[in-house]
Structure 1
């Protein structure tokens, strides 16, 4: 069975390693999704990069909340939370941008 206390303790005990992976991975995946959307790549590229970036952002949010649950309220926790939320919104924005500005053929009725 999944023990959330053990998982939260693992998250806090390995904070430096988790953040050393999640911060660059989150930024790279988000930048890749935005680049694919801006260069008008096929939608599955944008969706895939955006999904990976969103997973990293969601994991970072959960990691930060383990610190909030432990009572640690410091600048790094807010900075990481802001970074994760910004990347999450940017990934959603990349998908919406790609959907909105995709070149679709116009059908005429006549």
Structure 2
């Protein structure tokens, strides 16, 4: 029988190392999904990137739950859960409605470029 207590204790003991890996992994993998969606890559490729990006987000959710199980309810647990939830939401959006996400990303890029041009910064 698999002992979950050992896994939960490992998660809490190595919290710093786990979070040091999971936070950048969540951000980078989700950014990759957004880039693929914005560039209108084929749907199977976007779906594969989104599913890969969901893995570290789900691991982070379970990691936070191990802390909540022993009664540790602090700001970092809510911040990490918020990050994981945001990444999961973005990835599900890319899977469910890639056209609306691509439209939103293109509008966002155009808005940022117009603000940069208006500020006087020269772009290459």
**1:12-49 deviation digits (Å, cap 9, x = unpaired):** 00000000000100111111101111110011221111
> 1:31-42 maps to which residues of 2 (within 5 A)?
31-42=31-42
Aligned to 1:2: 2
Aligned to 2:49: 49
Aligned to 2:65: 65
Q: What's the TM-score once normalised by structure 1's chain length?
A: 0.87
**Which has more helix, going by share of residues?**
2
For 2:101 and 2:93, how far apart are their aligned partners in 1?
A: 12
Aligned to 1:108: none
Instruction: Please say if residues 33 and 49 of structure 2, whose CA atoms lie closer than 8 Å, have aligned partners that are also in contact.
Output: yes
Q: What's the TM-score once normalised by structure 2's chain length?
A: 0.77
**Number of equivalences:** 102
**1:61-81 deviation digits (Å, cap 9, x = unpaired):** 000000000110110000000
The unaligned stretches of length 5 or more in structure 1 are 103-110
Shift of 1:97: 2.7
Question: More displaced, 92-101 or 17-26?
Answer: 92-101
